Structure formats: structure tokens, C-alpha cells
Chain A
Amino acid sequence: MLKTFPKGGIHPPENKITAEKGIKRMAVPKVVNVPIAQHIGIPAEIVVDRKDKVVKGQIIAKSGGFVSSNIHSPVAGTVTKLDLIIDSSGYKKQCIVIRTDAKDPSNFEEVENPLKTDIELEPKEILQRITDCGIVGLGGATFPSQVKLNVREGTTLDYLIINGVECEPYLTADHRLMLEKAEEIVVGIKILMKALHLKKVVIGIENNKKDAISLFKKVIKKEDGIQVAALQVKYPQGGEKQLVRAILGREVPKNGLPLDVGVIVHNVGTIFAIYQAIQYDKPLIERVVTVTGKKLQNPSNFWVKIGTPIKDLIAEVGGLPEGTRKLVNGGPMMGKAIKNTDVPVTKGTSGILVIDEEEASRGEAKNCIRCGQCVFVCPMGLEPHLLMNLSEKGMYDKASAEDIMTCIECGSCSYVCPSHRPLLDYIRFGKNIVKKLETSKN
């Protein structure tokens, strides 16, 4: 019996059509639009100006506070303007627009760095390097990594969990990365083990990626303290709390963090970014993006420079098919629908999903028939139908008492609702209001 989390969860069709497609390198775009708010927390502060020449990897926006991150230029070129551009939030956000220098060789010569296993840096230096290189969680939440790794002295920490679950349908970015960079990822894990003085690491991978599981089992044979855990296929297993529960049986307390039960969780993508930062001093300026969709000509996985407009990616896979009705930044369960193809790829973009008419339309919301499906599938043990009603009626105190804030917004409730009720829409709205009320109280 494979491990999984006990309560709730759903099995949406996987549709991992790009699982066999190796990661290709995207051509360097002519123009990149780099948003300054690519991570959770305070936006970075711009340190370049119009007409400035920038080299690849140069810091163009500095971390703006404790929970913030540096942003580096993904290309060598010239800053043409500082403009407002719609990002995946649907709103115009401050961006740094850089025109790529067509003559600069660094833009076109990608050096495939050889595997480097010796870790030279000391723990303190490692953490500093991670901060400098602007590493954020690449699983989608984009939480600045140095904050997560900043463990106060005296905190019990015994496990590092590597999240290779990728439970979102369609996405295969992490899967491909695990297949192609397994050894580098293991070195990345050892870097974190050194930095955090950790002895035990578990790599969690869902059982629909059998090739990745067997590959990692082979690679870690010689390593001490690293294990691979094959997990049942169930959404949302990639959620931190669900993953910790599935692998270690520990339940993260309400409103708590995995650190409260002695665990730190990192995505495989983040680990690879950390490996590159530590061993080759390479900042986070590119990531793996799955460009997928049932009707696309040749969907695939790509190494993409941060700031690349999504239309470049779409062009790479053969253009938008006839009848496209929705573009999603991220996976189908938690991704955000985007307004146009000028939206840039950011550190949090794990995939671009192109959906046609049939799948894009939401059914008309009907009366709740009180079937309880939303309650059964909620991995957090909440009652989505109740929370939706409470936030629709404006009873935010009550919603807060019903633990609305512990919702992880996985969307399982909206997925299963036979009446197509916009459960998560209202719950998210209620969460926003409760958050506002709480901050105004303090």
C-alpha cells in the first residue's frame, strides 16, 4: 500500500501529455518584461534605469524587505523602459522591459555546466548565496527560499522533504527535470543537508512517475540518509501539509508551518535552482515551463527565461489552435487564467495551459443539493458549502470560526460540485475579507 494523506482528495484526469517530451531550450526572446513582484511578499526595488546596459545575471531589482527576493536580468541587453504590464494577476504591474542585445554572445551560448559534486561553501555562505541569487519556491507559491531556510536556533528540525509530487494535471515540468537532472538534484539536496545540518531527507514522488522513482532510487543508492517515497496518485498531494502528512504521518497544526513539526519542504525545481546557485553562482533567471493543451500541435517542456512573453512560448508549440477560449498560467486546478499572451513568464510559472471551448466554460451554477461531496473531498476537513454561504451572506466572523483561513485553495470542492457552484470563488473572497478584518484589528 502506497502512502498518501488520509482525508479527502480527488482524482482529476491526469492528461500528462508532455511527460515524454524532453526539456528543450527556448530561443532567447527579443524583449523580456521582468515584473518586480514575482514572489510572495514585498516587491523588489528597481535598481536600474532607462537606457541602462545590463549583463546577463545582473541584479536589476533588489530585495525590498525580509520576505522579498532579488531579481536578475535574464538576458544581456538594454533597459528600454519601466512600464506597467498585465501579469498573471490580471492587473498591470511594474515591469522592467529589457531589449536583448543581439550581438552579445552570452545570450546565445548556453553552457551546459558539468556535474559538480563537491560542496565548497560553508552553511552561512550557502544561505547568503541563496538570498543573493533570488531563489524562490518554484512549486508555484514563490515563497522566498532564504526565509524558509532561515531556521531559528533551538527549533527542532529533523526532516527535509523534497516535493516531486506534481499532482496538478497536465504539468510535467518537475517530472522532466527529475528525469534529466537527477544527479544535480541530489547534489542540491546535499547542499541543503549541509546548510541545515540535516541527516534525513525524503523525496516524495507520485506513483504515476515510475521512471523518476526508479531513477532516483538508483542515484541515491550510495547516499546516506536520503530516501525516495513512492506515493499514491491523489490531488492535492503536492500541498505542503498533505505531503508531510503522507510521508511522515505528521500533521501540521492549524495555521502552522511544516517547521512546527520539524520539517522543511522544498520543490525539486527549487533544489535544482539552489544547486546552480551554489555550484555555479547562477542566479534564478530561467525555469522549466510546460506548455500544454489537448489541441496544441506539439506541446512540450522548455527552459524559459524569466520575463519571456507567453506568446513566444505559444509560437514555439505551433500557435494557438482554433477555438482556444482560455489560457492558464499554471496547472488547471490552481493556475490563473490570463488576459492576453503578453503576460510574462515569472518565477512561479510552472506551465501554460491552453484550453478550448468545451473545457473552458463553467457550468451554470444551480442550487446546492446538499450532497456533501465538497465536504468529503476537502483535504483540510472544511465544509466548503457552509463557508461559501457564510461569505456570500457576509458572515465573516462565523466563517473565520469555521476555519476559513485554513483553506489551501486547492479547488477540489469546486471540481466535484455536481451543481457547479462557485465554492472556491466565494471562499477565496471570504478569506480576503477575513484577512483584512484581522489586520485591521491588530
Chain B
Amino acid sequence: MSQPIIISASPHVHSDRTSKKLMYDVVIALIPAFLVSLYVFGIGAFIVTAVAVISCLLFEYLIQKFLMKTDVTIGDGSALITGILLAFNLPSGLPIWMIIVGSLVAIGVAKLSFGGLGFNIFNPALVGRVFLLVSFPVQMTMWPTAVENNTTMADAVTGATPLGMIKEGLMFGDTMTNITANLPSNLELFLGLSGGSIGEMSGLALLLGGIYLLYRKVITWHIPVTMLVTMAVMTGIFWVIDPESYASPLIHILSGGALLGAFFMATDLVTSPMTKKGMIIFAIGIAVITVVIRLFGAYPEGVSFAILIMNAFVPLINTYFKPRRFGSKIKSKIV
């Protein structure tokens, strides 16, 4: 034998899944949504995504190398995902320096200041996004409208998102019937031909990505399904009571960041609970807060706030919703 025998404690075989593979699976799952946004927004979407990804990787490298003086882990794919998800939550045509600021907040403040991958409490991409949203509300809600803005980004024609239109219309006392007439149809929403952030365009593409993640077992069904069902039920109740003042559940689920949030943001491994019971509680919390913000809050959209708020509850959820210990309750009887 050329090399000495290895001794280690059992088990001696390991599954071939690595965290790196998990991360790249998420990246693959995001590709359809990215393609749709490229089709819809053209070069603008590409620039925003590229800037966000590059600056996230760069900040991670610089901070780890020169500030933290630890091993550089930009290869593990987590900063890549943060960059993509951040870009997906931004309107295309956002000034480049703002994207860079957002990336710095996402990587520097939300991730590395907590100790890096695995230690952050809040979803880094969402922290970056919310930071930008509250700092630059005007630019962050300038949505280049789809279709017409396919080739150029210079003369961006801006329009409101469906949720923004509903909120605005209802504020001025308009009825849902009138508002809905101006809205894109549900099918258009599903295919992704409405205004909004880069990644939240197409419900179909997000669903495809989500199904891929479920198939690869990167995520479990608990968070997305619970979250979407709860949202549908809640908005459905209001809609049934007063269809003139509240939008239908289908609009709520297909528009805004609901699908992106349910499949990619809330399911972030690091910032979601670790038990299945906990995941369900977590998802219900997100759905309730989202609906409350959408229906009664000042902002038209609340998924990112809801996820961040529930992120803060995750340690608590992990403490109180534990898996049932084997043999802790004796229900079996002796015949």
C-alpha cells in the first residue's frame, strides 16, 4: 500500500449530494425565469443581472479576503444565487450604482457580517432589495413596461405593476371591475407579459423552476404549497365577501413576487426552518403578512417584507416546533 490506511468514524459511505450541487441546482432552476425576462426586457435585464452577480461575487471575495481574512468561498454558488435573486427583485433599468449598493448590503451586511454562509438570519438578496426599496423608492418602482420596451432601455416607458394598479385604483375609489379591465389577463400574468421586477414576470417559468427544485429534492413542498394555498384562501375570503374592493386570489398569486417568493426566496435553506412542522408555520406566517400588506398596507407588494419578518422568527420556530421524538408518546398497546 502506497498511502496509509484511513481511519474515520462510521458511516464510511456518503451521499454524493454536496451543498455546492444544491446551490447550482437552484441556479439551474432560475434559468427559465431569466430567459423570460430577457425576452421581455431585453438587454436591460441582462445588464442588471450581470451587474448584480458580478458585484455580489466581487464583494464576497474582497470582504472574505481582506476584511475577514478567511478562506474565500465564492465557488460554492451561494453568492451567485444571492446575485441572481437580487437582480430578479429589481426593476430592469435601475441605475448600475444602485445595483452595486444593493449587492454590498446583501453580501456585506446581510450575509458576511453574520459570519457567512449558514449563519445569516435574513435572506441576503431580500435584505439588499428592501434596502434599495426604502432608500430609493422612486427608482425602485419605475417599472419599464413589457413588450414595447423590448430592444432599448434608454427611453424606458414606465408603467405600474398590476398590484400597483389595483392599489392605486382602489385608493381613488374605483371598483375592481373597472380596474380589472385595464389589467393584463390572468393568462398574460401567467406567461409573464406584465410589468414588474425582472424575475417575477412569468408564473410559468417560475413554476417550472420550482418543479425542478422539488424533483431534485432541493426543497420540499411544504413551504411553497402552504404559502400559496394560505394566500389563496385568505384573499379568496375577501374576494368572495366583496369582489368589487378586493382582487381575485388568482391575480394575487400570479402577480407580484408571490411565486418567486414561494419557490425561491422563502425556501432558502439557510433562513427557513429545519423541521416540516416549522416550515408550515413559517409559510403560513409569510402568506398572512403578505396578504395583510397587500390589502391594507401602504405598499402594493409585501412578499419580501413578509419573508424577512418571518426569517426573524425562524430560530424561535426551530426551538418550539421540534420533530416528534421516537418513543416519546407510547400509543402502541400490548395485545
Contacts and interface: CB of A to CB of B under 8 A. Distances in A.
A325 B13 contact: no
Given A326-B6, A375-B323, A380-B325, A158 B335 contact: yes
A359 interface: yes
Nearest to A242: B326
A210 interface: no
B22 to A, nearest CB: 6
B77 to A, nearest CB: 11
A415 B1 contact: no
B98 interface: no
Given A156-B334, A253-B327, A418-B17, A337 B12 contact: yes
12 contacts: A12-B15, A158-B334, A158-B335, A251-B332, A323-B2, A337-B6, A371-B269, A372-B275, A383-B323, A416-B17, A422-B9, A424-B9
Nearest to A326: B6
B22 A252 contact: no
Contact of B5 (A335, A340, A371): A340
B119 interface: yes
B116 interface: yes
Nearest to A371: B269
B327 A368 contact: no
Contacts of B322: 383
B274 interface: yes
B3 interface: yes
Q: Which of B1, B11, B273, B327 has the most CB of A within 10 A?
A: B11
A254 to B, nearest CB: 4
B76 to A, nearest CB: 7
Nearest to A403: B325
Contacts of B323: 7, 375, 378, 381-383
A330 B18 CA distance: 26
Contacts of B325: 254, 380-382, 403, 406
Interface residues of A, number: 77
B10 A369 contact: no
B69 interface: no
Given A261-B334, A381-B324, A409-B10, 11 more contacts: A12-B13, A254-B328, A262-B335, A333-B10, A336-B10, A337-B12, A366-B19, A375-B275, A381-B325, A415-B13, A419-B118
Interface string B1-35: 11101111111111101110110000000000000
A81 interface: no
Interface in A352-398: 353, 355, 357, 359-363, 366-372, 375-376, 378-383, 385
A332 interface: yes
Contacts, number: 176
Given A372-B274, A418-B19, A332 B11 contact: yes
B328 A381 contact: yes
Interface string B306-335: 000000000000000011111111111011
A252 to B, nearest CB: 5
Interface string A125-156: 00000000000000000000000000000001
A333 to B, nearest CB: 5
Contacts of B273: 372
A256 B327 contact: yes
B117 interface: yes
A217 to B, nearest CB: 24
Q: Which of B3, B17, B118, B274 has the most CB of A within 10 A?
A: B274
Interface in B250-304: 269-276
B24 to A, nearest CB: 12
Interface in A2-22: 7, 10, 12-13
Size bin of chain B's contact surface:
35 or more
Nearest to B78: A369
B17 A375 contact: no
A324 interface: yes
A299 B73 CA distance: 42
A250 interface: yes
A318 interface: no
A428 B9 CA distance: 10
Given A241-B327, A325-B3, A262 B14 contact: no
Closest 3 CB pairs of A and B: A411-B11, A372-B274, A250-B332
B9 A375 contact: no
Contacts of B118: 367-370, 419
A425 B76 CA distance: 24
A420 interface: yes
A273 to B, nearest CB: 25
A363 B14 contact: yes
Interface in A293-336: 320, 323-328, 330, 332-336
B18 A363 contact: yes
A367 B327 contact: no
Contact of A335 (B12, B17, B117, B324): B12
Contacts of B13: 12-13, 169, 332-333, 359, 415
Contacts of A414: 11, 14
Given A158-B334, A324-B1, A362-B14, A406 B6 contact: no
Nearest to A5: B326
Interface string A80-102: 00000000001000000000000
A376 B276 contact: yes
Interface string B113-139: 000111100000000000000000000
Contact of A254 (B1, B3, B9, B327): B327
Nearest to B9: A425
Nearest to B324: A381
A249 interface: yes
Nearest to A362: B8
Contacts of B330: 251, 253, 261
Contacts of A363: 14, 18
B12 A7 contact: no
B5 A327 contact: yes
B320 to A, nearest CB: 13
A339 interface: yes
Nearest to B331: A251
A336 B5 CA distance: 13
Nearest to B319: A386
Given A367-B119, A369-B19, A418-B17, A380 B326 contact: yes
Contacts of A251: 326-327, 329-332
Nearest to A380: B326
Contacts of A415: 11, 13-15
Q: Which of B12, B273, B323 has the most CB of A within 10 A?
A: B12
B13 to A, nearest CB: 4
A235 B84 CA distance: 38
A10 B11 CA distance: 13
Contacts of B9: 337, 422, 424-425, 428
A295 B274 CA distance: 39
A261 B335 CA distance: 9
A225 to B, nearest CB: 14
A92 to B, nearest CB: 15
